[in-house]
Amino acid sequence: MKKISVNAIHEFCPQAMYLYGTYKEDGNPNFGLFSWFGYCLDGGVRVMAAVGSGKLTSDRIRASGVFSANLVSESLLPLADYCGNTMGYDEKKMDIPVNVEKGAVLPVPVLADSPWTYELEVERTVSLSGSDIFICKISNVLVAEELPDVNIPFDERLRRAAPAIAFGGGYYAALKPGTTGKWGDWKGLREAAR
């Protein structure tokens, strides 16, 4: 493969997307779209969420210390794209049909139609210029009941969850169902190459 060098742009960052849910000051829910999302270990699995300042989601996470992260599936893409391109400061942003429920353990709004939702509590905030990385304890994971069922083949569970992927270059993509292997399938690669 012949490689070329390009500037440090985020075009080559394929990521799952989450709709972050917070309650506004008036008690109504707001959702924003976020893809700069990752995991780390700090005495248990933690979520790392990078959120730009000057957004309602950032204000509300800072004020409440809690939020939900709802996986974006292919069927949630229209809502996700809308929430990612409409500022929460627009008071009418959430005047759209959306199925919202309450978190099971935290005071956060949850999207009923998302395959899985993290209920997150901010433990630490790393402030960068123009954004924050919120390192969060996962207080609960709400999952569509069939997804943890190991009796259903993984491909089928993936097809049902249908997570959508965002590329920095401005495109959304579907994660085509079809397992390509299991963890450890290639651990003997060195021996096989001999």
| Of positions 87, 96, 105, 141, contacts ligand FMN by CB under 6 A | 87
Q: Which positions from 161 through 180 interact with ligand FMN, judged by CB under 6 A?
A: 166
Q: Can residue 70 be called a binding residue for ligand FMN (CB under 6 A)?
A: no
Q: Can residue 84 be called a binding residue for ligand FMN (CB under 6 A)?
A: yes
Give the pairing type, strands 116-128 and 37-41. Answer: unpaired
Q: Which positions from 17 through 36 interact with ligand FMN, judged by CB under 6 A?
A: 17, 30, 32-36
Q: Can residue 136 be called a binding residue for ligand FMN (CB under 6 A)?
A: no
Q: Can residue 79 be called a binding residue for ligand FMN (CB under 6 A)?
A: no
Shortest gap between Cβ of 147 and ligand FMN (angstroms)? 23
Give the separation between CA 21 and CA 71, rounded to whole angstroms: 11
Q: List all residues 6 or more positions away from 56 whose beta carbon is below 8 Å from its beta carbon.
A: 22, 24, 30, 32, 87, 88, 89
Residue 51: in which H helix or E strand, if any?
strand 45-52
Shortest gap between Cβ of 132 and ligand FMN (angstroms)? 9
Cross-strand bridge partners of residue 46: 40, 137
Q: DSSP assignment, residue 130?
A: T
Q: DSSP assignment, residue 83?
A: H
Q: Can residue 55 be called a binding residue for ligand FMN (CB under 6 A)?
A: yes
Interaction site with ligand FMN (CB under 6 A): 17, 30, 32-36, 50-52, 55-57, 84-88, 166
